[in-house]
Amino acid sequence: MADSSECCRLPDCCAVDRLYPDLAEGESLFGALADETRLAILRQLRERGEVAACDFHACCDLAQPTVSYHLKILRKAGLVKAEKRGLWVYYSLNDETIGRLRELLP
């Protein structure tokens, strides 16, 4: 009788984590994009290049703490960069990560 563990084991070529090692990165990046507010923030950054944190409420029609929450998610995913200048924080797209997103698309 054959060993039952052999019949259920995937061949090495089919192991997802070996075949596509960047899937976890893609899940994180695309997860950060899966929100209308965050997409609006990214669109505003694409159109304007750089936006002060206090100016996002115009595109999102949300309270500043809510916008800050979404900016934090985008920062953690590496999709935006933040630069503090005096009292203000300015955000811009992280072009390197945006380029990486394009590579991860099927």
Q: Give the CATH number of the domain where residue 43 resides.
A: 1.10.10.10
Task: Tell whether 45 is covered by a domain.
Answer: yes
Q: What is the pLDDT of residues 27-39, one digit of tens each?
A: 888 999 999 999 9
Task: Tell whether 39 is covered by a domain.
Answer: yes
Most confident stretch, 3-17, 26-40, 53-67: 26-40
Most confident stretch, 13-22, 39-48, 59-68: 39-48
Question: Among the listed ranges 7-16, 50-59, 87-96, which one has the minimum average pLDDT value?
Answer: 7-16
* H-only helix segments in 1-106: 4-8, 16-19, 23-33, 36-48, 57-60, 64-76, 95-104
Give the tokens for residue 44: 């505003």
Q: Which residues pair with 92 in a beta bridge?
A: 81
pLDDT at 78 over 90: yes
pLDDT at 19 over 80: no
Question: Among the listed ranges 2-6, 48-52, 86-90, which one has the minimum average pLDDT value?
Answer: 2-6
- pLDDT mean over 61-77: 90
| Residue whose tokens read 């998610």 | 73
Integer Cα distance of 60 and 32 in angstroms? 16
Residue range(s) defining the domain that contains residue 39: 21-104
Task: Tell whether 2 is covered by a domain.
Answer: no
